[in-house]
Amino acid sequence: MASKVKQITVWARGVVQDKEGRDIANGLANAAKKEGKFTQAFDNYVDLPDRVNVPLRKYARISDEEIEERYEYENEKPEVVIVADATLVKGINVLRGMEKGGVLVVNTDRKPEDILKFIPNRDLLKAIVCVDAKGICGEATVDFSGSEGGVDAVGLGAGMAAPILGALVRGTNLVKLENLAAVVKNKEALYKGHEQAVVKTL
C-alpha cells in the first residue's frame, strides 16, 4: 500500500466490543473526512462472524489522495494501533506490520510502563498512550445494528470509543479534537479521555 495512506488498526474483543471497535475506526475516519481527507473504515471480514471475546480487527485509513487500495482488506503496515481491551496485548502481536515510529493507544487503568512489559517489539513505538476508558464511561455499548455492513442505529461514540478517541489525539496528529467532538455522541467522555490520557514518549 502506498505510504501516503495512513493505516490505523483497532483491536477489540468479539461481540462485547464489536461496536466499540467499529466506532473507533468510524469516528476517526469521519473526523478526518471533515478535514478534507480521503478515508476508509471497515471491519476485518475474516475476524467475523465473531464469538464472545475473540480478537477482532477494525481498520481506518486516512489519505490526502484517493485511496487506490480500496479493496485490500487488511492494514499491512499500521502506524497507529489502538487496543480496546488491554488483555489483548498478552497473547497477540498487536504491532504486527508496524514500522519504527508508531503509536500505541491502550484502554487500561494501568500505567504505560506496565503495558510495555507485555510488548516485546516495543522498540517500534515512539509513544504509548494509556486511557482508562471504562473508568470514564463504563462498559461498552452492545448493539449489532452496524455489524456485517449494516447501518448503525444507535449512533457513534456513545460508549468507550469516545474517551479512547480523545486519548488518541494526545499521541497522534491524525485528526483534531474538535472534529472528533463533531462526530461522537458522548462529547464529555471524549474530552475526559483527552484530559486523563497518560502519554509516554519513547
- Which residues sit at the interface with other proteins, rule CB under 8 A? 40-43, 45, 48-49, 68-73, 145, 147-151, 153
The Cα 80–Cα 113 span in angstroms is 18
Nearer to other proteins, 87 or 144 (CB): 144
Question: What is the rounded (10 degree) CA torsion for 112, 123, 84, 52?
Answer: -120
Whether the Cβ atoms of residue 163 and residue 192 lie closer than 8 Å to each other = yes
Could you tell me if 202 and 122 are in contact, meaning their C-beta atoms sit under 8 angstroms apart?
A: yes
Count of CB atoms situated within 10 Å of the CB of 101: 11
Least distance from other proteins to the Cβ atom of residue 183, Å: 12
Measured between alpha carbons, how far is 133 from 155 in angstroms, rounded to an integer?
A: 18
Closest distance between other proteins and the C-beta of residue 33, in Å?
8
Complex with other proteins: residue 41 or 115, whichever CB lies closer: 41
Q: Under a CB-based contact definition with an 8 Å cutoff, are residues 176 and 169 in contact?
A: yes
CB of 6 to other proteins, least distance (A): 17
Closest to other proteins by CB, 4 vs 70, is: 70
CB of 177 to other proteins, least distance (A): 22
Strand-pair partners of 13: 55
Q: Which C-beta is closer to other proteins: that of 91 or that of 149?
A: 149
